[in-house]
Chain A
Amino acid sequence: MGFRYKGYAGKYLDVDLDKGKVHIKDMEEEWALLYLGGTGISSKILWDRTGPETHPLSPDNILIVGTGPLTGSMFSPSGRFMFSGMSPQTGIWAESHSGGFFGPEMKYAGFDFIILNGRSPNPVYLYLNDGDAELKDASDMWGRETDTTTDMIREQHKDPSIETATIGPAGENGVLYGCIIVDYYRAAGRTGLGTVMGSKNVKAIAASGALGLEAHDMDAYLEANEEELAKVNDELWESSIASLRKYGTTDLVAMINEIGRLPTKNHWTGFYEDADDIGPEVIANKYRINQEACYGCGIGCKYVFRVKEGRFSRGPTGGPEYETLMAFGSNCLNNDIESIFHLGTRCDLLGMDTISAGKTIGFAMELWEKGIIDEEDTGGLDLSWGNVDAMIQLVEMIASREGFGELLSKGTRQAAKAIGNDAWKYAVHVKGLEASGQDPRAHQSVGLTYATNVRGADHLRSLSSLEELGYPEVINARFGKEKFEEISKITSPVHKGEVIKDIEDLYALVDSAVICKYGTMWPPIYYFDTFTNVIPPLTGMSQWGDPEFVRTAAERICHLRRAYNHRLGITREQETLPRRLLKEPMPTGPAKGGLPDLDYMLDEYYELRGCDKETGLPKKDKLRELGLEYVYHDLARRGMMQSY
């Protein structure tokens, strides 16, 4: 009885929103074995169910909620899960991950995956409980902010332990970067999947479950788990872990400014003189009141802050991450930390991505400075750098798509198009997604990461901290001593194709298992051997004990996601960087003069990925080797495969 492999709930939900029906289905054995979970299984489902004819905000798009075998399994950290679909912001592959407690709860409630199809005629929320699923009326929740929605659902079921994933007004109103908020503070932030949820008239997903999860061989799994945890506690990582526990990701503000790649003034430069005002020390000393952790996590990078008095005072709230401090801080030349807390919190409550919101506002501020837009365009708002009042108003206006907010609710790519003139020169995005808090002019490999990333200018698919923060032992072990010197040079493009390809493969598994980037990206503790160690005893998939099988699976997932984008028209031409990051040398700071050598890195990357260098498309042999013949046939039918 039940699903063959353990560690999985064994069922997935196929929800027909048009008809208001939920279909409980058995998990597919092949999905688990070949694609593991999370991003891997999503890529298979999305490939099968959506394509060039799908419009992201039409009922044809699907929204997938996905967990992985490690979700809720006591692996540290095991609280992660993800969403995927086609992005309304970029029109291509979208995935967005979150920590917190929803993912495990969804599995304990009996489901590994949820696929939302169609569009409900009325606002609904999906309620999962002990193997059952039900669509429930959400009319009275529509329009509410995310925390109120969570409260209402818990109240409705008289169950304070229900875990939720909800959207806010931004996602309902069609802001292209609407996000999904998990419990109160965690966000599946990027690529606008909250807006996809909104377009389906789904306000929230709630889960409560007592079904639990089994392991294939519990004793062996716990032992493997302990071995992995022992790695985290190795003294090699002591200072990194101590920093994460004390500062969380806010530490990055200081660390990154030091190397000159903290996006400042809409990415004009990478050095912010006032970085101390928005950095780790002031937060830790003045505002931080508690440490928190996601489910089963021994790292504990989350924190709770409180602004006790003044205009921005509020009760305990989950703290902003590095990216939010960057987006609303250095990026907008805003050193008022309390306003950043406020802006970040408002974005969480309204349900929109802080990176895209902050970056789009920074973009508008630069257009204002350059005189490309003026008061007439903004409806009287003064968009001078660091004008906190204007930023606060804009965040509300974006969420409701009022006035000038309507334009900015579309993100920088579309806003630049609508504004015309030279506006495009200041739109810092790749494939439509605003750049996160990195800069390739100070850190070469970031350029490659941004350019090849399946969801746009985003760091979470292959960002390398190896050369950035210097982990010599790791570089030597992974790539060999002879490459150490070049790899460890943050400003050298040499061997970066190899590093980024390797890390992209690794993160594909991290995103499928599903675990956190802390412990994998920084500090770089877990590697491929982690998966060979823990997956077989947990799941019973003995194949996952074979390092080659694991590597192949990682590559398979990467290629399938890439192919999904190819089918939508992405080739080497789009795998590039915005003008500012490619052509304008870094003007100030420690990285002054820096520019990425993107073509050099791309060539190496395509070669190692098994892609054609001219087009970036996959080679037939590569797809065959990965068992992706169906991808080959589809692309070939569309005239997108050459015979190499």
Chain B
Amino acid sequence: MDRKREAGIPKKKGSSILKKALAIDNSRCTGCRNCELACSVEHTQTFNPRRSRIQVLKKEKRDIIMPVVCLQCENPLCQEACPTGAIHRNEEEILTVNPNSCIGCGNCVNACIYGGIAIDPITLKAIKCDLCGGNPACVEACEYDAISVVTLDGDGLRERAQGVGDLAKKYGLVREEA
């Protein structure tokens, strides 16, 4: 696929890299869901938002629009919950699902409180963001610059925390009024 891939993390095995994750700037997100489309194209060669690894959460009546995606946790709840050990960190330190061991039980989905992992409706196995091996398609597809790749050091952690904070606040809002 001839798509421009600029910023991002080295693809080569063995290179010394810092851990990366996606950070969402909720104030920029318009809920257009182009990120979902781009992700599904990247991973399935089809336009199919249900197979996307980033999902835009919407509660329009409360003005809640929030893309949710795997945060590459330090202590991943999903990994812990997986009975077959299908979730592991790959050589680039990205949490990855091994489709051969995944039995599609959905334990990881229930465990992740951020909505970062889902079951693919076609393969019936868990899918999650793998940072596209370097240059995430969603980052590129977002015309509003709401998604970026951050390094999980000081600044990056702060940026990610901001996103998580927003998310918690929004979830809190939902709970409050439910």
Which of A73, A212, A294 neighbours the largest number of chain B CB atoms within 10 Å of its CB? Answer: A212
Whole-angstrom distance from the CB of B170 to the nearest CB of chain A? 12
B 11-63 contacts with A by CB, 8 A: 30-34, 37-38, 40-41, 44-51, 58-63
* A-B CB contacts (within 8 Å), total count: 98
Residues B47 and A72 in contact, CB atoms below 8 Å apart:
yes
B1 at the binding interface (Cβ < 8 Å): yes
A161 vs B47: C-alpha distance in the bound complex, in angstroms?
17
If A222-B3, A295-B33, A296-B37 touch, does A183 touch B47 (CB 8 Å cutoff)? no
Contact present for B32 and A298 (CB under 8 Å): yes
- Which of A284-292, A483-491, A562-570 lies at the interface with chain B? A284-292
Contact indicator per residue, chain B 131-164, by CB within 8 Å of chain A (1) or not (0): 0000000000101100000000000000000000
B32 touches A300 (CB 8 A): yes
Interface centre among B40, B51, B62, B143 (most CB of A within 10 A): B143
Closest B residue to A220 using CB positions: B2
List which B101-140 residues lie within 8 A (CB) of chain A: 121-122
Which of A108, A223, A226, A296 is B48 in contact with, Cβ under 8 Å? Answer: A108
Residues of chain B contacted by A222 (CB below 8 angstroms): 1, 3, 41
B49 touches A108 (CB 8 A): yes
Tell me if B65 is interfacial: C-beta within 8 Å of chain A: yes
A210 B122 Cβ-Cβ under 8 A: yes
Asked if A24 is at the interface of the complex by the 8 Å CB criterion, the answer is no
Are the CB atoms of B122 and A74 closer together than 8 Å? no
Assuming the contacts A219-B2, A291-B30, asked whether A183 and B46 have C-beta atoms less than 8 A apart, the reply is: no
| Residue numbers in B under 8 Å from A315 (CB-CB) | 61-63
Chain A 169-213 interface mask (CB, 8 Å, partner B; 1/0): 000000000000001110000000000000000000000011111
Interchain CB contact under 8 A, B50 and A296:
no
Contacting pair A73 B47 (CB below 8 A): yes
Q: What is the CB-to-nearest-CB distance from A519 to chain B, in angstroms, rounded to a whole number? A: 12
Residue of B whose beta carbon sits closest to that of A211: B48
With both beta carbons as reference points, the residue of chain A lying nearest to B27 in the complex is identified as A290
A210 near B51 with CB under 8 A, answer yes
Q: Is A510 an interface residue (CB 8 A)?
A: no
Return chain A residues, CB-CB under 8 Å to B46. 212-215
Residue among B34, B40, B143 making CB contact with A212, cutoff 8 Å? B40
Q: A641 near B: Cβ within 8 Å?
A: no
Q: How far is the CA of A349 from the CA of B5 in the complex (A)?
A: 45
Within 8 A of B (CB), among A110-162: 147, 160-161
Residue ID in chain B nearest A291 by CB atoms: B30
Residues A210 and B48 in contact, CB atoms below 8 Å apart: yes
Q: Which of A70-106 contact B (CB under 8 A)?
A: 72-74, 76, 101, 104
Q: Hey, what's the 0/1 contact readout for A565-578 against B, CB within 8 Å counting as 1?
A: 00000000000000
With A210-B121, A212-B44 as known contacts, state yes or no: A296 contacts B61, CB within 8 Å.
no
Q: How far does the alpha carbon of A304 sit from the alpha carbon of B48 in the complex, in Å?
A: 27
What residues of A have a CB within 8 angstroms of the CB of B33 in the complex?
Answer: 101, 295-296
Give Cα A294 to B58, complex, Å: 13
207-244 of chain A: CB within 8 A of chain B: 209-215, 218-219, 222-223, 226, 229
CB distance from A420 to the nearest CB of B (A): 45
A293 beta carbon closer than 8 Å to chain B: yes
Query: What sequence of 0s and 1s flags, for each residue 60-78 of chain B, a beta carbon within 8 Å of any chain A beta carbon?
Result: 1111010000000000000
Return the contact of A316 from the options B31, B44, B63 (Cβ within 8 A): B63
Given contacts A210-B48, A213-B47, A219-B1, contact A300 B144 (CB under 8 A): yes
Q: Specify which of A76, A160, A184, A210 is in contact with B50 (CB 8 Å cutoff).
A: A210
Are A184 and B32 in touch, CB under 8 angstroms?
A: no
A399 interface residue, CB < 8 Å from B? no
Q: Which residue on A lies nearest to B37, using beta carbons? A: A74
User: Does A297 have its Cβ within 8 Å of any Cβ on chain B?
Assistant: yes
Contacts of B3 in A (CB 8 A): 222, 226
A296 vs B63: C-alpha distance when bound (angstroms): 18
- Do A292 and B37 touch (CB < 8 A)? no
Residues from chain B with Cβ under 8 Å of A104 in the complex: 49
Q: Of the candidates B48, B63, B143, which one forms a contact with A76 in the assembled complex, judged by CB atoms under 8 Å apart? A: B143
A316-B61 contact, Cβ under 8 Å, with A76-B143, A300-B32, A300-B143:
yes
Interface string of A340-370 (1 = CB under 8 A from B): 0000000000000000000000000000000
When distances are taken between beta carbons in the complex, the residues of chain B under 8 Å from A210 are 48, 50-51, 121-122
CB <8 Å contact, B30 and A296 = no
Chosen A-B contacts, 18 in total, with CB atoms closer than 8 Å, are A73-B47, A108-B48, A108-B50, A160-B58, A210-B51, A210-B122, A212-B44, A212-B47, A214-B46, A218-B45, A222-B1, A223-B2, A296-B33, A298-B144, A300-B30, A315-B61, A315-B63, A318-B60
Please provide the 3 A-B residue pairs with the shortest distance between their CB atoms, ordered closest to farther.
A212-B48, A298-B143, A316-B63
Q: Measuring CB to CB, which residues of chain A are less than 8 angstroms from any residue of chain B?
A: 72-74, 76, 101, 104, 108, 147, 160-161, 183-185, 209-215, 218-219, 222-223, 226, 229, 289-298, 300, 302, 304, 306, 315-316, 318
Given A108-B47, A212-B50, 19 extra CB contacts under 8 A: A73-B47, A147-B61, A161-B58, A210-B122, A212-B48, A218-B41, A218-B45, A223-B2, A293-B32, A296-B34, A296-B37, A297-B30, A298-B144, A300-B144, A304-B63, A306-B63, A315-B62, A316-B61, A316-B63
